[in-house]
Structure 1
Amino acid sequence: MNGIWVINAKNWRAITIILVAAFFAAGWIYLERNTMSVFTTESGPQAFYRAETDTKNIALTFNVSWGEERLTPILDALELEGVEQATFFISASWAERYPELAADIHKRGFTIGNHGYQYKNYDTWEQDKVSQDIVRSQQILTELAEEKPALLRPPNGAFNQEVLSIADKQGLSIIHWSVDSKDYQNPGTEAIVHNVLDQTQPGDVILFHASDTVKQTDKALPEIIKGLRDKGYTFSSIEEMMTGADSESSEVQ
């Protein structure tokens, strides 16, 4: 009888450990799911590209996929102008090559978004390949940048309904843009300034780049920031834009 009781006690301790572990796992999953901002509508997941609002809030976003020379001057320009909110969508393969730069974005308090691993258009890939690329990039960015992204901007901004569904299942919101600075064309500092100031309206998401292909963005930013502030704009995070106002989504054909 004592032998049976010893065996049952061991089993009970094992069951208790399993239940406690399951409880904490379930709690972690719940918290993880509820800290992610997935932009969905009655029609299902959509890509966020601007907030429909009269409040003069806007979001600055930067794509990073290549090189090591242009990011730091852009980060410095934002800090010197007192901009505390901006989102950097970084390629995970880039972050592997320059982990100290990825970490610097996080240390300076800016948000890190997922920009994929391989810089290939998702809308041309099989769904399994897209899912694997997103999973891989999430793991790398979480480890290197000490921040688990909740936002995804597919490489080249290319996506379709299948990509939206894949991102949604992984707890990610796809973020597009409504104003293109066209800084990647290197048209000159003044042209970049006018591209932004002439187009921006309340609720806009503005696209910049911080790869080495852009040569004039860091020089244009101070004038852009001053010009936007003179017009009464403030800089918000993407999450604030998504939750603080009625939002518009990108149409997917």
Structure 2
Amino acid sequence: MKFFYVFHAKTIKQLTLILIAAFFTAMFLFMETTIHMPVFSSKDDPKAIYKGENDIALTFNIGWGDEKAEPILDVLKKENVKAATFFLSGSWAERHPDLVSRIVKEGYEIGILGYEYKDYTELEADKIRQDIAKAQTAFAKLNIKDINYVRPPTGHFDKKTLESAKRLGYTVVHWSIDSKDWTNPGANAIVERVGKAKKGDIVLMHASDSAKQTAKALPSIIENIKENNLKLVTVSEMIANASTSTEEIK
């Protein structure tokens, strides 16, 4: 009987520990999937901006291609969209100075998408700075000034990316809504994904040639945003008008 009691008590203790661990694991997973939490650190550590507080920022990456940027600009003009942010690679900008000029003349903001299509997490800090600086030189030659933001070409970044950008005077901008338009899932699927955007969201879209359905999806996306009484702004306007959510990468 004594052996049974000891065995029974040990089993209960083990089961209790397992249940407690399972409870906290489930709670962590629930919070991770339902709550978008920024990671806070000291105020001087470099961080990436991924979300604002008010309005919505449509952002378009262009790293390559000759065909899709102009139709997207045509849609934005037709839909009377006055604010958007285009992250352009320096190499693309050099090859398309007329489109870069049009983006500026129509009042849209420009950010840097590196120079070449490189994964910054696979580069040393000096190589990251060289790539950003090369893009900086390309835009300077096109007389594009006052660029404040960088988006890593592949979307992947780490702490050395943030520090390298900050050292050159730039802030890294990520996103909170990914349209996945480059996968060409169909215009309706793109509209549905972006339709989840709420005030403060930064939306990732593409105007490279791989995104074949973005222009078709844009009118419905813009209509939905207007119907929800949300205002389209540039990344700079979003940051200037309210607090932003930032994430530290270790």
| Same structural fold, with TM-score higher than 0.5 when normalized by the shorter chain | yes
The one-letter code of the counterpart of 2:169 is G
Q: What RMSD in Å do the two structures reach over aligned CA positions?
A: 1.5
Counterpart check, 1:219 vs 2:216: yes
Counterpart check, 1:42 vs 2:67: no
After TM superposition, the structure 1 = structure 2 runs for residues 113-192 of structure 1, keeping only pairs within 5 Å, are: 113-144=111-142, 146-192=144-190
Task: State which drifts further: 63-72 or 99-108.
Answer: 99-108
Q: Tell me the residue number matched to 1:90.
A: 88
- Cα 1:168–1:179 change in 2 (3 A) is same
Please list every run of at least 4 consecutive aligned residues from structure 1 whose deviation after the TM superposition is greater than 6 angstroms. Answer: none
Counterpart check, 1:232 vs 2:232: no
Q: How big is the shift at 1:43?
A: 4.5
Q: How big is the shift at 1:250?
A: 2.7
Give me the TM-score of the superposition, normalised by structure 1: 0.79
Give me the TM-score of the superposition, normalised by structure 2: 0.80
Counterpart check, 1:59 vs 2:57: yes
| Count of paired positions | 210
Larger Rg: 2
Three-state SS of the structure 1 residue aligned to 2:142 is helix
Q: Tell me the residue number matched to 2:68.
A: 70
The one-letter code of the counterpart of 2:125 is Q
The one-letter code of the counterpart of 1:209 is H
User: How many Å separate the matches in 1 of 2:225 and 2:146?
Assistant: 30
User: How many Å separate the matches in 2 of 1:140 and 1:114?
Assistant: 10
Q: Tell me the residue number matched to 1:108.
A: 106
CA deviation string 1:100-129 (max 9, x = no partner): 222221121111110001110111101111
Native 8 Å contact 1:176 1:250 kept in 2: no
User: How many Å separate the matches in 2 of 1:209 and 1:92?
Assistant: 16
Higher strand share: 1
User: How many Å separate the matches in 2 of 1:150 and 1:98?
Assistant: 21
